[in-house]
Chains A and B, each alone.
Chain A
């Protein structure tokens, strides 16, 4: 079809799509999640099985069934996910062999297949309706508004869902007005630092230049964070629409989306979306007949963590080595190719169309005083329901973990959450009523970061956690500045000493000194925030450091050098299971008699504890 050449034309096109959808409104629709997680769990064969059954039975049944492959629903742990409309049923962990039953029972018979629906681990309550599942019930989705309900490779789906209406509205606005709207909305950058997006746009606009760039940071690198990937894969048009609005407000004609190459599906879906937007006249020359032209290129990154840092990202886009530079001159003045540049994160851009469409007041009515709107978190770790959740800013850590996350796995004791990725910090359970927003997390010694929330239980050693994240940062340090390059390995040395029982009283003081050096002396955000995991664990879990150093004990039973495994003769039934599984063959004992571990040969792998069904293996 010819490109849409006016705002009215877009609305007419949307009406046409709506009429066609209306006609099919009563037909059952099967939505198979095609996010990376569900695909890895086997969503492809499930979708194939649906197609096959429908092909075989289609005419005979006289049911016109649509199958859509959607982006990530966020509840990845339970994938492959299949949603059935119009009943609004969500089936979890669906296998191809379940498909005939779903077709027979639900699609043809209108009944629920109980064994495939959500079952609350605590109450055993069964919840079939998608929107009633606790994981979804407490969410408020803006950035994730379409994900899971549209096919990301079909631009019509996005337009039908109201897509590009924000752009249409923006094109009729004064650029200055758009910037004010974003400012008033209180939208802060979702990439981590939380810099107000409107302020950034305004300062870029104030710099005189004939060329400006609009960039999207899709270099999501925090271990455990995957909201940006989900958005790029599941709703790429929301990011593209946000960028076009930003470009129009700033007078930019070229944009770049920087995506790490480890996200092949994101690259693919973004490419399809860009091409479709161009064909529809929503991107490229003379957008919707407005006279405004703007195009977007995808820039694929090599996966260096530091390339998520703005100045390193810009160097990488320009084809140079991704190393940060001093930002004494801000990138809104001199950014990509030394031109004024606005760089925002994927989630930030995805929020922009809704803010323009529904207004700054609507957006600012959600969240807290300093942090407006909603935030997507990736809830992972020792929690029952893991996945992506979007909630209003200001929700407490406890609500997130208990209501949405369904509490700590296996009924264990909730100990702490680690927020903000490797440069974030650990917040103890006693502060779990803290509202999650940019400022309160920073105040508590952690940070929002990209929104990773890792739940930890009593079996997590906090010294080991600090060591783990430091190790990650040692690997990811670009090596440009001394404090980060040479300081982090020394911090890792000290932490390793402590976890291996060589820590002395002076170790903690030395750690604090090195952390101070990093915080003040490092060049970029990676280095200045790298001390957070260490400082926050020292601050809140000093007793664990002391136990490792003074008593040479790891209270959580994690640090191998400080623990020994033994079998409680009272609890052991002599079932031989541990002995059979021990890779060292160092467990002896006759059947039906208590077993013994030969600690001189034990490598502390923990297999015996994992396999024991009588909880007879002890760590001390």
Chain B
């Protein structure tokens, strides 16, 4: 792998060419806030704009999203300039106005010294109460899980993830990857009496034959068996008792 030298906030690091700025920064202990990016999901990133940093290259400066800007030779990144702080605060203020009840956003904003919103706050319909429409959930579902149970619908401020026609999905396996990946905890996943409820659909769970804990939806087992050819009996026990 080709290595290049990249400078972040005055310190120079050797990094793999085309790796994203955010990861190179985090590997070297430089914090850049981010929401919509997950290093395991190549289609993620670029939408929340929280990780905007200054990229100086070829005599030109641009604000770029650190989560998908590739490091190349001679790149100099600044993560803490007045411009970066100003735009980051602006983005966070908009997000706070969108999802006033999200603790994650409030904390991230507080770290930038932002506690008050000067705009109309969204009252929010219940389902997008904390959703920042970053599409990480749909990207995870499509790219990592591979079932395409949810996708982004509508556009503009009404954009949100949903199952087709807002009906319980035929293909959802109830794995909950969307909920685990969501940066703001906007997707409700509830479990009760051995049944998981997500996206308006109930998924009976397999109980561990040792401890009796319901730990995986049956539909998810079906999917894994179908996709990998793994023996179904493997899922009789939960990871703790295998």
The interface of chain A, by Cβ under 8 A from chain B, is 304, 321, 325-326, 328-329, 474-483, 485-490, 493, 510, 513-514, 516-517, 520-523
Q: A325-B46, A490-B119 are in contact. List 4 more A-B contacts (CB 8 A).
A: A481-B48, A482-B94, A483-B90, A485-B156
Task: Take A493-B120, A521-B49, A523-B49 as given contacts and tell me if A326 and B152 are in contact as well, using a CB distance cutoff of 8 Å.
Answer: no
Q: Enumerate chain A residues within 8 angstroms of B133, measured Cβ to Cβ.
A: 479-480, 485
Interface membership of B87, Cβ < 8 A: yes
Interface membership of B171, Cβ < 8 A: no
Task: Take A486-B95, A520-B83 as given contacts and tell me if A475 and B156 are in contact as well, using a CB distance cutoff of 8 Å.
Answer: yes
Smallest distance from the beta carbon of A405 to chain B beta carbons, Å? 34
Smallest distance from the beta carbon of A425 to chain B beta carbons, Å? 21
Residue among B47, B118, B158 making CB contact with A480, cutoff 8 Å: B47
Q: List 9 A-B contacts (CB under 8 A).
A: A477-B155, A478-B156, A479-B133, A479-B157, A479-B158, A482-B94, A485-B133, A487-B90, A510-B119
Are A521 and B159 in contact (CB-based, < 8 A)?
Answer: no
Are B64 and A493 in contact (CB-based, < 8 A)?
Answer: no
Smallest distance from the beta carbon of A522 to chain B beta carbons, Å? 8
Task: Take A479-B156, A485-B157, A521-B49 as given contacts and tell me if A510 and B90 are in contact as well, using a CB distance cutoff of 8 Å.
Answer: no
Q: Enumerate chain B residues within 8 angstroms of A514, measured Cβ to Cβ.
A: 90
Q: Enumerate chain B residues within 8 angstroms of A479, measured Cβ to Cβ.
A: 133, 152, 154-159
Are A520 and B87 in contact (CB-based, < 8 A)?
Answer: yes
For the complex, what is the distance from the CA of A521 to the CA of B52, rounded to whole Å? 7
For the complex, what is the distance from the CA of A138 to the CA of B91, rounded to whole Å? 48
Are B95 and A326 in contact (CB-based, < 8 A)?
Answer: no
Interface membership of B163, Cβ < 8 A: no
**Of B9-17, B26-34, B65-73, B199-207, the one touching chain A:** B65-73
CB-nearest residue of chain A to B94: A486
Smallest distance from the beta carbon of B19 to chain A beta carbons, Å? 13
Smallest distance from the beta carbon of B145 to chain A beta carbons, Å? 18
CB-nearest residue of chain B to A489: B157
Chain B: residues with Cβ within 8 Å of the partner, total of: 35
Task: Take A325-B46, A483-B49 as given contacts and tell me if A521 and B157 are in contact as well, using a CB distance cutoff of 8 Å.
Answer: no
Q: Enumerate chain A residues within 8 angstroms of B119, measured Cβ to Cβ.
A: 490, 493, 510
Residue among B63, B70, B135 making CB contact with A521, cutoff 8 Å: B63
Interface membership of B132, Cβ < 8 A: yes
Are A517 and B155 in contact (CB-based, < 8 A)?
Answer: no
Dominant secondary structure at the B interface: mixed
Task: Take A482-B48, A490-B94 as given contacts and tell me if A517 and B156 are in contact as well, using a CB distance cutoff of 8 Å.
Answer: no
For the complex, what is the distance from the CA of A478 to the CA of B97, rounded to whole Å? 19
Are A326 and B157 in contact (CB-based, < 8 A)?
Answer: no
Are A482 and B152 in contact (CB-based, < 8 A)?
Answer: no
Are A304 and B120 in contact (CB-based, < 8 A)?
Answer: no
For the complex, what is the distance from the CA of A481 to the CA of B49, rounded to whole Å? 7
Smallest distance from the beta carbon of B115 to chain A beta carbons, Å? 17
Are A328 and B69 in contact (CB-based, < 8 A)?
Answer: yes
For the complex, what is the distance from the CA of A513 to the CA of B91, rounded to whole Å? 11
Residue among B68, B86, B94, B135 making CB contact with A326, cutoff 8 Å: B68
Task: Take A326-B46, A523-B49 as given contacts and tell me if A486 and B97 are in contact as well, using a CB distance cutoff of 8 Å.
Answer: yes
Q: Enumerate chain B residues within 8 angstroms of A488, measured Cβ to Cβ.
A: 156
Q: Enumerate chain B residues within 8 angstroms of A480, measured Cβ to Cβ.
A: 46-47, 133, 135, 159
Task: Take A474-B157, A485-B133 as given contacts and tell me if A523 and B120 are in contact as well, using a CB distance cutoff of 8 Å.
Answer: no
For the complex, what is the distance from the CA of A26 to the CA of B87, rounded to whole Å? 69
The 7 lowest CB-CB distance pairs between A and B, nearest first, are A479-B159, A517-B90, A486-B94, A477-B156, A490-B119, A479-B155, A479-B156
Interface membership of B98, Cβ < 8 A: yes
For the complex, what is the distance from the CA of A479 to the CA of B95, rounded to whole Å? 13
For the complex, what is the distance from the CA of A151 to the CA of B173, rounded to whole Å? 58
Residue among A474, A516, A523 making CB contact with B156, cutoff 8 Å: A474
For the complex, what is the distance from the CA of A326 to the CA of B65, rounded to whole Å? 9
